Chain A
Amino acid sequence: MSSLYESQKAMRQKRRAALQRGVVAILDVGTSKVVCMILQFDPSVQVDAASGMGAIANHGAFRVAGVAKTQSRGVRFGEINSMEESERAIRTAVQGAQKMAGIRVDHVIACFSGARPRSYGLVGKVDLDKGLVADQDIGRVLAACDVPDYGAGREAIHAMPVNFALDQTSGLSDPRGQIGHELAVDMHLLTIDSRSMQNLLICIKRCDLELAGVASSSYASGISALVEDEQELGAACVDIGGGSTAVSVFLRKHMIFADSVRMGGNHITSDISQGLQVPHAMAEKIKALHGGVVATGLDDREMIDTGGDTGDWEIDRRQVSRSELIGVMRPRVEEILEEVRAKLDGAGFNNLPSQRIVLTGGSSQIPGMEGLASRILGQNVRLGRPLRIHGLPQAATGPDFSACIGLSLYAAHPQDECWDFAMPAPCVGGRSFKRAAQWLRENW
């Protein structure tokens, strides 16, 4: 955890440098689209967390200066598949956003939609020497968390203290200065496949950019699509994207669980393409224009020209009824939602006080989605659109941009993570001494 601690800490420093320069880019490398958003920060409006201003109150601190969206290439399941192609897509998006903003941007905060996230709940416990919680005690208790063996090829991207408990009192958000004997912490650790993170890092480096932070897209879309009450009382955000569906559960304004289903809108499209035997582009078009999940009697009579790309106009003048289309789409949507259900059940979502589920992401716009989701996931389902942020163009306000917008909120006002606290001295010092010795050994 220490190497990670350092790399994340370095990223934090870069983020701070970027905020001082006042410009940072948000990069969402998705399966179906790549979005780059350039944020301009006004340092005079910057409000620190100590004053009690939350993420929403911090809105005025930044302005969206440029947004560019391009079709994603070389990305599957939210992971980079072809480096060259996705680098080109990132370049296109970054250049477009820079052109719109007229600003050069060097620091990028990126998010992952795939990369097989896995979340762990960690518990740490420490005895207080002075009977009073001091700043370093927080670091100590975070360091005392017993980290599970999450595998060699994985890396933590979020490690957030979710809940502090002092002796018998649980549910503290900031225990500093309080009196007690034993401090315990619940930490939410989210790990992802380190290979895909490395790939993204290389891609971004090849675009002459520096990574100033990473976030899971399930977390980001949860920030923007859930309203404050939902985050407080407990809700799940389901971001149905192109190649993967991100699931996150929030309670008391902290993410307590995140996962992703490796299925999304692209699978619906390929189902249509295979089931109706139409080209992929046409399948995408009829999905977007005529798609649905609930068939009515009228849909039998609504015929959709599928055309075809066979070159033989005479025989390929096919039409499908809308109910056929729905018949192709619905099983896949049901499958996705059932997977989401399984993930939520595994996370114990049923035990939460409120079981609100918010659907967002591009595929949540399929008509009838809400009704179908409420049948599979539970009664309390709504469609969520992201918050409005300053300077956002109208074209980027749809639910498919909720991860981007959440990421920009995260960039403006990141939640405390474990690496924001000072690690206890012996651990850090011993480590650095060891590293110095190793460096000497290697070079002489």
Chain B
Amino acid sequence: MQPINRKPSNQGQPHGQKPAKQHLSYSSNIKPLGSVAQGTAQTLFGQKASKQLPKRDPAPSRTSYKLQRLWLTPMVRSMAKAAIPTLGLLAIGFYLVNNQGLRDHISTRYAETRESIQTRPEFMVDLMKVSGATDRVGDQVRAASQIELPASSFELDLPIIRKRIEALDSVKAASLFLRTGGVLDIVIEQRNPVVIWRNKNGLELLDANGIRAGVSQSRLDYAKLPLIAGEGANADIAQAMSIFAAARPFENRVRGLMRIGTRRWDLVLDRGQIVQLPETEPVAAVERLVAWQSAQQILARDIKTIDLRNPSRPYLRLTPFAMEELRRVRSINLGVETKL
């Protein structure tokens, strides 16, 4: 007798051979029993679940039916959609117009709320950071921005502050950023002075394009910058700079450049010497002067003016003493007695 609930084994059957017909039918008899039991449970459960749900009544309640009909009435609909909101707004407006106290109350409450939001620590700016500028320019920028910190970021009008900062001579461009942590970051692109220009108003600093980069009280503050002078001297800074560069071999003698008649340069040296440069190609003239100097030490001589305006023929103007001496030497050479 075989136990019912044990699967029949294929022991004793040769491999590859089909099990006996009896075995097949037996095993197929067992399996459905289990599956039937399972299936029954599931189906019953499913049926129970579906049966327990009460059938929903699709009919609308009388109230909802009436309400829907009311809503579909064109009059009611237009009232609810247009007339009642309009009337409500009108009533509110009328009440406000006629009630000064309420209006004041609303406006003060509005201002208070606005203030309390604006002065929250998240929106406060406590620190100003100026980068890309020298200390002196940085101080100028701080002063020019006219901000009193701490301030709310709502009150900071960055475009106006930027305009104020960029109005400074020494600032070429400025970018302002509100960083997290309440930092106002001002990034400055500075305007670098290359020459100092003495004019009617005093000493002005100019950058390479001839644009004013500041004002100086004293020449000594910018002792390293070359000096230019004269009306219209700011018109051609590039030429002036190349003249200074060409005059580098005797730079310790150069005092500055003087614009003459707003068209040409005079190179002013110490001891009151003046080199008059031509209107065209002044740099070439300076280079010739350098050659001349190295050949004959022309500048070391007692000459008041070297006129290089005519490239084919330089003129020299001697000091009166030198002129006197020259005449004396010439007369000696001619055998003329000199009066002592």
Contact = CB atoms under 8 A, between A and B. Distances in A.
Interface of A: 70, 88-89, 91-92, 94-95, 98-99, 102-104, 207-208, 309, 311, 313-314
B36 A104 contact: no
A369 B293 CA distance: 133
Most buried by B among A70, A92, A95, A309: A95
A314 B36 CA distance: 8
Interface stretch (B62-70, B254-262, B306-314): B62-70
B59 A99 contact: no
A94 B47 CA distance: 34
Task: Identify which of B44, B47, B69 gathers the most chain A CB atoms within 10 Å of its CB.
Answer: B69
B72 A102 contact: yes
A205 to B, nearest CB: 13
Contacts of B43: 313
A104 B75 CA distance: 11
B40 interface: yes
22 contacts: A70-B59, A88-B57, A91-B59, A91-B60, A94-B65, A95-B64, A95-B68, A98-B68, A98-B69, A98-B72, A99-B68, A104-B72, A104-B73, A104-B74, A208-B66, A208-B69, A309-B47, A311-B44, A313-B40, A313-B44, A313-B47, A314-B40
Nearest to A104: B72
A68 to B, nearest CB: 10
B93 interface: no
Interface of B: 36, 39-40, 43-44, 47-48, 57-60, 62, 64-66, 68-69, 72-74
Contact of A70 (B44, B58, B68, B72): B58
Nearest to A206: B62
Given A311-B47, A313-B39, A314-B40, A88 B59 contact: yes
Interface of B, secondary structure class, is helix
A397 to B, nearest CB: 23
B335 to A, nearest CB: 135
A98 B57 CA distance: 19
A204 B66 CA distance: 13
Q: Which 9 A-B pairs have the closest CB atoms?
A: A104-B72, A88-B59, A92-B59, A313-B43, A91-B65, A313-B40, A95-B60, A104-B73, A104-B69
A209 to B, nearest CB: 9
Contacts of B57: 88
Nearest to B39: A313
A32 to B, nearest CB: 15
B72 A92 contact: no
Contact of A92 (B58, B66, B73): B58
A70 B64 CA distance: 17
A92 B43 CA distance: 34
Contacts of A98: 68-69, 72
A49 B44 CA distance: 64
A311 B46 CA distance: 10
A99 B60 CA distance: 12
A324 B244 CA distance: 123
Contacts of A102: 72
Given A89-B59, A91-B59, A104-B73, A207 B65 contact: yes
Contacts of B58: 70, 92
B59 A103 contact: no
A313 B41 CA distance: 9
A403 B44 CA distance: 43
Nearest to B68: A95
B79 to A, nearest CB: 14
A95 B58 CA distance: 11
Contacts of B44: 311, 313
Contacts of A70: 58-59
A88 B65 CA distance: 10
Contacts of B47: 309, 311, 313
A304 B113 CA distance: 76
A139 B40 CA distance: 74
A92 B58 CA distance: 7
A89 B64 CA distance: 14
Contacts of B64: 95
A72 to B, nearest CB: 12
A281 B73 CA distance: 39
Contacts of A89: 59
Contacts of A91: 59-60, 62, 65
A91 B57 CA distance: 12
B172 to A, nearest CB: 68
Given A208-B66, A208-B69, A309-B47, 17 more contacts: A91-B60, A91-B65, A92-B60, A94-B65, A95-B60, A95-B65, A95-B68, A98-B69, A103-B72, A104-B73, A207-B65, A311-B47, A311-B48, A313-B39, A313-B40, A314-B36, A314-B40
A390 B72 CA distance: 23
A313 B47 CA distance: 10
A306 to B, nearest CB: 15
Contacts of B72: 98, 102-104
Contacts of A207: 65
Contacts of B59: 70, 88-89, 91-92
A95 B64 CA distance: 9
Contacts of B73: 104
Contacts of A103: 72
B55 to A, nearest CB: 11
Nearest to B41: A313
Nearest to A103: B72
A89 B39 CA distance: 39
